[in-house]
Amino acid sequence: MNKRCYAAFGIMTMLLIAAVYLNLISGSVSIAPDKVFAALFGKGADAMQSNVVTAIRLPRIAAAFILGGALALAGYMLQTFFDNPIVGPFVLGISSGAKLTVALSLIFFMARGNKPGSLFLVGSAFIGAIAAMALVLLLSIRVRSMGILVVCGIMIGYICSAITDLVVTFADDANIVNLHNWSMGSLSGMNMTDVGIMTVIIGICLMASVFLIKPIGAYRLGEAYAGSGGANIILLRIMLILISSLLAATVTAFAGPISFVGIAVPHLLRGMTKTSEPGVMIPGCFMLGALVTLVCDNLARTVFAPTEVSISSVTAVLLVPVVIAVMIKRRSRS
Amino acid sequence: MNDRVNKTEGRGLETRGLTIGYDSDIITDISLRVVPGKIVTLIGPNGSGKSTLLKTVTGQLKSRGGVILIDGRNRSSMSTKEIATKLSIVMTASVKPELMTCRQVVESGRYPYTGMFGKLSEKDHEKVDEAIEATQTEDIADRLFTNISDGQRQRVWLARALAQEPDVLVLDEPTSYLDIRYKTDILTKIRDLTRSRNIAVLMSIHEPETAMKLSDTVIAVSEGRVQRIGTPYEVFEEGFIRKLYLLGDMDTELIGSIPWYTREGIGAAGEYKPCGTKGVIMIQGTMSNVGKSMIAAGLCRIFLQDGYRVAPFKSQNMANNSYVTKDGLEMGRAQVMQAECCRVSPDVSMNPILLKPTDDTGSQVIVSGKPVGNMRAAEYFEYKKQLVPIIKDAFDRLKNDHDIVVIEGAGSSAEINLKDHDIVNMGLAGMVDSPVLLVGDIDRGGVFAQLLGTLDLLTDDERNRVCGLIVNKFRGDPKLLESGLNMLSERSGCPVTGVVPYMDIHLDDEDSLSRRFLSKTAKEFDIAVIKLPHIANFTDFDVFDQADDISVRYTDIPADIGDADIVVIPGTKNTTGDMKWLRDSGMAQAIRELAANDTVIIGICGGYQMLGERIDDPEGSEGGGSMEGLSLLPVKTIIENTKTRKLFEGICEEPTGILSELKGSPVRGYEIHMGKTECTKEAAPFTSDGTGYCIGNVYGTYVHGLFDTKEMAAGVVKAVAAGHKKSVRVSDITDQTDYKEKQYDALADVLRNSLDMPAIYKAMGF
C-alpha cells in the first residue's frame, strides 16, 4: 500500500461521514440537525420527526451505503473477469436481467393480491442476473473484442427492459406506479428488515471476495501467468461470476437497476490510489461505491425536491463522463 | 545451493508419447527430455505447433494423449500449486497489467509460496530481491510496468519466473518484437541463469540461427511430428533446415547469417574450437583392440578416485559377450567392467545398443537391453538412424546423474565408408559435444602412421574435437619415443597426452577377437575350454587367471585338449550350429571319450544344452531344427523364442563324482538363454532351482559366473587336483570382485603415471 492509498482511505472515510450526515439532515421534511440526532438516539420529542429519521432516512442511508458498495464491487469483479475496463453489471445487462425476473414475479404475486418477500425477490433477481450473465458469457466466448461484448451486453439489457416495459404496460394494476418507480431505480421505501437481509447477503459476498484477493492479484497478469503461478483459474472465474451476479441481483431486487456506479467507481478508485492491488481495490471500491451512491441519492432527493428523480438519472449524469474519460484515455494510450 | 546441484536425478521436464492440439491433433508422439542446466529449443515453421506444445506442457491446454513428467512426476497427479513451485513461464511480450510496479510483477512469482491472502514473508522478499538482482532490473523495479520498454518487460518477466524458484523454465518466443540489443540481453541472461541456477529450460524460438547458437538440444517440429531431435550440429544441416522451413532452393543471403552448419570445415582451418560439454571425455581408437576399453576403464577409476561420480558409456557394442543387469536387461560386458571401475551398478543406459553376431553377415540387435530382432548389416545400417534419440536419451540420463561420463568409441574413428549416420565415433562425439582422446597401438606397429593417418581422414571440425593423442601398449624406454612424439604433435597440431605401457592386467574382455584365444601352454592344472565357433559369455573363467598354476586354454582341435584336468563347453549364441560343429570336427567324439575316462566335463549354458540328449529348436530361434546332443546328461532342451534373463543366487546342491565335497557351496551368477532344459531321467541336481544337473564327473548348468565365488573356483580346482594327485596353490584365488578391484586400482595407477591428467581434466572443462 502506498501513501496515496492511506490518504484515499482517510478522505473516503471523512467524506462518508459527511455524506451520511448530509443525507440524515436533508429531505423533503426539513428537520433541524440537533433534532435529527435526538431522534436517532431515541430522544426525539416529535414522533413524526423521529419516524422520518429512523424509519425512512436511516434505512435509506444504510441501503444506499450497502447497495452502492455492492454495485461497485460487482463492477470491479466483472472488469477483472472480462479483463475489460468498460463493463459493469448495468452495461452487461445483468441488472436488466434481474429487473425482468423481479418484475415478472412481482406482477405474478400482486395479481394474486399478496406482496412477495424480500428474499424471494432477491432469489428471482439472482435467477435473472445469472441468466443474463450466462448469455453474456456465451457471447464472450465467441467475440473477443471488448467493444462488441459491451454492445451485446447493452442489447441484452434493452431486450430485458423492453420485455419488462411490456409486462408493466399490460399489468394494469394499482401498484403499477410503485413498480414503475422501482424499475427506474430508487432507494426509497426501504425498511430495516430489507436492510438486514441485504446486509447479510452482501456481507457474505464481501467476505468471500476477501478470499479472492490473492488470486485476483495474480489474475491481473493474465490467465497464463496466473495459472503458472499456481492460481486456480477455474475456481476464481466461477467465484467472480457468482459473487458479482449475486451482488448485482441483490441491488436490483431492492433498488432496481442503478446505472454506472459499477463501471465508474473502480476507475475513480484507481485514479485516486494509483494502484490495482485487489487488497486495496476490494474494500476501496465498496467504500467509494457507498460514498458515490449516498451522494447521488442525496442529489436525487434534493435537487428537484420535493419531487424525487430516479437515482439512475443522477448516476448517469455524474458518472458517464468518468466512463467516457476512461475510454478516451485507453484509446489514446494504445 | 549444494543440495540443489546434487539432487539432479530425475529433475527436469520430460514428455512421453505426448499428443497435443486443440480440437484435433497438431503434433503426435512427442517424447522429449529437458535436464537441469541445459537449454532445449523448439524450432519449426509458423503454425507447426511450438506454442501449442509449450501451452500443453505448462498446463494452459489439455494434452490429447501421453504423459508429461515434471521432476519425474506425472503432471496430472500434481496440484497446480506443486507444479507452480517447479515450473514457471515467460511468454511473448503482450500482457501489460495496469498500475503494477515491476516489483509487484516479480512478487507475483511468489504466489505458490505465500498464504491465503498472498502476504509476502521476509524470505519471499529476499527471493524477489534476488531475482531482481539476477536480472539486473533494480533500476526499474519501482517503476510502473506499463511505463517501461518491451525489452525491459521481458527482463521483469524473467525475474518473475526466477522468483518462482523453478526447476523448469518454459519460454515461448521470449525475444519476439525485441530489438537486437534486448534480444542479446535476454538470451544471454537466459543462458547464464540456466547454467548458474541449474534450471531445465524449454523454449520456442523464432529465428533458427539463434537456436543454433543457444541450444544444447534442438527439437524440430513440422507437419504434425517431431522431425529431428539432436545437438545444433545435428539438426542444423542445410538440407534438413531447407526442408523444415520449406525454403526449397531459395537464396537465404538476405537474412544474414546462414542458419545451418556447413558440413565441411566449420571456421577457418586450424582455428581452435573449444568443444565439450563439461565432464565428458571420449576415447576413440585408430583401430580395433588398441585398448580403448581399458583406457576408458582406467580413466573411470581415476576420476572415481578423484572424488567424481563417473559413468561409462558406449553407444554400440558388438560382442557375443553380454551381461544381464538386475532388471534382466542385456548389455556389453566392457561397460559392466567400466561401471565396476566407477563403482556404480551397470545400467543399460551405459550401452544402449548391443549387436551380437549370429553369423558372418547378421547380428541380433539389442536396444536398451532388449532384443529387437536379427538384422543383416545393410538392414541395420538403415535402422540405426532411428536409434539416435535412444542413444542421446541414454547419454543424457547418465550425464544427468554423474559428474563425468567416459565414452568409448568403437573400432576406428576413420572408417570413412561408414561415416554417414555414424553413431559410435565422431558422430557420437558431435552429438554429445565431447572432446576426444585418440588411442593408437604401438604393439601392432606403425603407431605414428595410425594416429596421423586417422587425423588426416577426419574433417576439420572432427579433428578439432581431438584434444590429445595416446600411444598405448608401449614396451621399453619411453625416452626412445620422444623425438617421434614431438614430430607427431608438430605434424598433427595435437598434443600427445601420454604413452601407456603394455600392461598385464586382467580385465573382462570386450569381444571374441581378444588375446584370450591366443594359445597358451598347459600349466600344472589345466582347464581346456572348447572354442565353439559362436562362443559367448566366456568371462566365466577369468577367475582362474588369478592363480599362477592354472592355465585356461581355448581350443578347437580335439588333439589339443590333451590331459586337461577340466574340459569346459562354454556358452554359445547358436547351440544347434555349434553342436553340429562339435560333431563334424570330431570334438564330440573326443569329449565322449574323455567323459568315459572320468575326466571332469563342465557344460555351461549352451554347453550344458549340448551335454544333453536332444536339442529341439522348433521356432528356429537359433537356427532351427532338431539335434542329438552328446548324451552325457539325461536332459532335453527345447529352444524357445522367449529369452530367460535373470540373476542367479543359489547353491551347489548335490554334486556327484569328484566335486561331491562342494555340496552346499554358494553360487552366484546369472542366466541368459533361450530355451528350457528338462531332466528326463534320474540325475542329481548340480546347481539349485533346476538350473543344472550332473552324473558322475559330468556337470551341466545354466549359471554363468559359476566360478565367481571363491568357494566354487577354489573348491573345484582343489577337488579335481586332489583327485588327480596334483598339488595346486589355490590360496591366490579370491572372490572375483576383490580381485577385480585390485586390478582396477592397478590400472588407474599405471594410467595416472603415464597420462597428462591435468590436460584431460582441462579438456573436460574442469
CB-CB: which of A214, A217, A222 is closest to B95?
A: A222
Q: Are A86 and A150 in contact (CB under 8 A)?
A: yes
CA dist B68 and B86 (Å) reads 13
pLDDT at A60 over 70: yes
- Tell if the CB–CB gap between A224 and B109 is shorter than 8 Å: no
- Tell if the CB–CB gap between A230 and B81 is shorter than 8 Å: yes
Calculate the average pLDDT of chain A: 86
- Tell if the CB–CB gap between B88 and A223 is shorter than 8 Å: no
The pLDDT assigned to A269 comes to 93
Q: Does B631 contact chain A (CB < 8 Å)?
A: no
- Tell if the CB–CB gap between A214 and B112 is shorter than 8 Å: no
CA dist A193 and A62 (Å) reads 11
- pLDDT digits 0-9 by tens, B210-219: 888 888 888 9
Q: Which of B13, B88, B111 to mutate to test the interface with A (most CBs of A within 10 A)?
A: B111
Q: How far is A280 from chain B (nearest CA, A)?
A: 12
| Closest-CA residue of chain B to A271 | B99
- For residues A159 and B736, the model is more confident at A159
| Closest-CA residue of chain B to A85 | B98
For the domain with range B525-727, which CATH number is right: 3.30.70.120, 3.40.50.880, 3.10.129.10, 3.40.50.20? 3.40.50.880
How does residue A183 score in pLDDT terms, banded at 50, 70 and 90?
A: low
Q: Is B679 a catalytic residue?
A: no
Q: Are B694 and B657 in contact (CB under 8 A)?
A: yes
Among B402, B534, B673, B704, the one annotated catalytic: B704
Instruction: Give the residue among A248, A237, A235, A289 at the shortest CA–CA distance from A83.
Output: A237
Q: How far is B9 from chain A (nearest CA, A)?
A: 24
Quick one: average pLDDT of B72-79?
A: 88
Q: Which helix (H) or strand (E) holds B168?
A: strand B168-172
- For residues B699 and A116, the model is more confident at B699
Q: Does B246 contact chain A (CB < 8 Å)?
A: no
| Closest-CA residue of chain B to A210 | B117
Q: Which residues are paired to B43 by β-bridges?
A: B220
Q: Are B720 and B259 in contact (CB under 8 A)?
A: no
CA dist B704 and B691 (Å) reads 11
- At the topology level, CATH places domain B1-86+199-263 in Rossmann fold (3.40.50)
- Tell if the CB–CB gap between A270 and B118 is shorter than 8 Å: no
- At the topology level, CATH places domain B280-508+755-763 in Rossmann fold (3.40.50)
In CATH, the architecture of A3-333 is Orthogonal Bundle (1.10)
The pLDDT assigned to B512 comes to 39
CB-CB: which of A217, A227, A274 is closest to B118?
A: A217
Cα–Cα distances in Å, from B732 out to A110, B132, B188, B508?
A: 111, 66, 60, 19
Q: CB-side exposure of A163: number of CA atoms within 13 Å? A: 17
Q: Which residues are paired to B370 by β-bridges?
A: B367
Q: Does B53 contact chain A (CB < 8 Å)?
A: no
The pLDDT assigned to B622 comes to 65
Quick one: average pLDDT of B242-262?
A: 77
pLDDT at B197 over 80: yes
Q: Which residues are paired to B695 by β-bridges?
A: B698
Q: Are B539 and B521 in contact (CB under 8 A)?
A: no
| Closest-CA residue of chain B to A211 | B117
pLDDT at B193 over 50: yes
CA dist B32 and B566 (Å) reads 53
Q: Which helix (H) or strand (E) holds B171?
A: strand B168-172
pLDDT at B585 over 80: yes
pLDDT at B369 over 80: yes
Q: Is A189 helix (H, G, I), strand (E, B) or coil?
A: coil
Q: Which helix (H) or strand (E) holds B445?
A: none
- Tell if the CB–CB gap between B98 and A218 is shorter than 8 Å: no
The pLDDT assigned to B557 comes to 86
Return the minimum-mean-pLDDT range out of A119-123, A178-182, A255-259, B198-202: A178-182
pLDDT at B513 over 50: no
Q: Which residues are paired to B406 by β-bridges?
A: B281, B312
Return the minimum-mean-pLDDT range out of B5-9, B113-117, B475-479, B620-624: B5-9
| Closest-CA residue of chain A to B82 | A230
| DSSP secondary structure, A90-123, as one string | TTTTHHHHHHHHHHHHHHHHHTTT-PPPHHHHHH
CA dist B55 and B463 (Å) reads 42
User: Residue A204: phi, psi to the nearest 5?
Assistant: -60, -45
- Tell if the CB–CB gap between B97 and A229 is shorter than 8 Å: no
Strands B684-685 vs B692-695: parallel, antiparallel or unpaired: antiparallel
Q: Where are the domains of chain B?
A: 1-86+199-263, 280-508+755-763, 525-727
CA dist B220 and B241 (Å) reads 9
- pLDDT digits 0-9 by tens, B711-746: 888 889 888 888 888 888 777 777 777 778 888 898
The pLDDT assigned to A333 comes to 59
The pLDDT assigned to B271 comes to 26
Q: Does B679 contact chain A (CB < 8 Å)?
A: no
Q: Is B86 helix (H, G, I), strand (E, B) or coil?
A: coil
How many residues belong to chain B?
766
The pLDDT assigned to B693 comes to 92
Query: Which distant-in-sequence residues (6+ apart) come within 8 Å of A205 by Cβ?
Result: A70, A73, A243, A246, A247, A250
Q: Which helix (H) or strand (E) holds B611?
A: helix B606-611
CA dist B216 and B706 (Å) reads 46
- Tell if the CB–CB gap between B104 and A277 is shorter than 8 Å: yes
The pLDDT assigned to B268 comes to 27
How does residue B623 score in pLDDT terms, banded at 50, 70 and 90?
A: low
Question: Matching CATH topology for B1-86+199-263 and B525-727?
Answer: yes
- Tell if the CB–CB gap between B100 and A218 is shorter than 8 Å: no
- pLDDT digits 0-9 by tens, B296-334: 999 999 998 888 889 999 999 888 777 877 777 888 888
The pLDDT assigned to B306 comes to 86
Quick one: average pLDDT of A147-166?
A: 85
Among B275, B341, B605, B694, the one annotated catalytic: B605
Q: Are B507 and B297 in contact (CB under 8 A)?
A: yes
Calculate the average pLDDT of chain B: 85
Cα–Cα distances in Å, from A245 out to A156, B39, B109?
A: 15, 47, 30
pLDDT at B276 over 50: no
Q: Is B704 a catalytic residue?
A: yes
Q: Is B640 helix (H, G, I), strand (E, B) or coil?
A: strand
Q: Are B346 and B325 in contact (CB under 8 A)?
A: yes
How does residue B275 score in pLDDT terms, banded at 50, 70 and 90?
A: very low
End-to-end CA separation in angstroms for chain A: 27
| DSSP secondary structure, B499-540, as one string | EEEP--------STTSGGGS-----SEEEEEE--TTEE-GGG
As for the ipTM of the complex, it is 0.86
Q: How wide is the angle at C-alpha A205 spanned by C-alphas A199 and A210, nearest 5°?
A: 120
Contact list, B88 vs chain A (CB under 8 Å): 228-229
- pLDDT digits 0-9 by tens, A142-151: 766 767 778 8
End-to-end CA separation in angstroms for chain B: 19
> In A, what residues contact B, Cβ < 8 A?
210-211, 213-214, 217-218, 220-232, 270, 274-277, 279
- For residues A237 and A173, the model is more confident at A237
Cα–Cα distances in Å, from A110 out to A65, A181, A187?
A: 29, 16, 21
The pLDDT assigned to A117 comes to 75
The owner of cell 612424439 is B485
- Tell if the CB–CB gap between B84 and A228 is shorter than 8 Å: yes
Instruction: Give the residue among B459, B451, B524 at the shortest CA–CA distance from B491.
Output: B451
Query: Which distant-in-sequence residues (6+ apart) come within 8 Å of B171 by Cβ?
Result: B54, B89, B90, B91, B190, B201, B202, B203, B204
Instruction: Give the residue among A80, A84, A233 at the shortest CA–CA distance from A145.
Output: A84
Contact list, B111 vs chain A (CB under 8 Å): 214, 218, 226, 229-231
Question: Given CA atoms B699, B701, B704, B708 in this order, what sign does their dihedral have?
Answer: negative
Q: Is A36 helix (H, G, I), strand (E, B) or coil?
A: helix
3-class secondary structure per residue, B643-695? EEEEEEEEEECCCCHHHHHHCCCEEEEEEEEEEEEEECCCCEECECCCCEEEE
Instruction: Give the residue among B268, B208, B206, B215 at the shortest CA–CA distance from B240.
Output: B208
Q: At A22, list the grid cell.
A: 448530509
For the ranges B127-141, B270-284, B511-525, the one whose mean pLDDT is highest: B127-141
- For residues B231 and B655, the model is more confident at B655
Q: How far is A85 from chain B (nearest CA, A)?
A: 11
What residues of chain B, 82 to 101, have a C-beta less than 8 Å from chain A?
A: 83-85, 87-89, 91, 95, 97-100
The pLDDT assigned to B266 comes to 33
CA dist B638 and B617 (Å) reads 6
Q: Which of B90, B99, B127 to mutate to test the interface with A (most CBs of A within 10 A)?
A: B99
How does residue B683 score in pLDDT terms, banded at 50, 70 and 90?
A: confident
Q: At A250, list the grid cell.
A: 441483490
pLDDT at A282 over 90: yes
How does residue B267 score in pLDDT terms, banded at 50, 70 and 90?
A: very low
- Tell if the CB–CB gap between B105 and A221 is shorter than 8 Å: yes
Contact list, B108 vs chain A (CB under 8 Å): 217-218, 220-221, 225-226, 229
> Position B371: which residue type?
P
Q: Which of A4, A84, A86, A225 to mutate to test the interface with B (most CBs of B within 10 A)?
A: A225
Q: Are B306 and B341 in contact (CB under 8 A)?
A: no
Chain A and chain B share a number of CB contacts under 8 A equal to: 80
Q: Is B637 helix (H, G, I), strand (E, B) or coil?
A: strand
Quick one: average pLDDT of B87-102?
A: 85
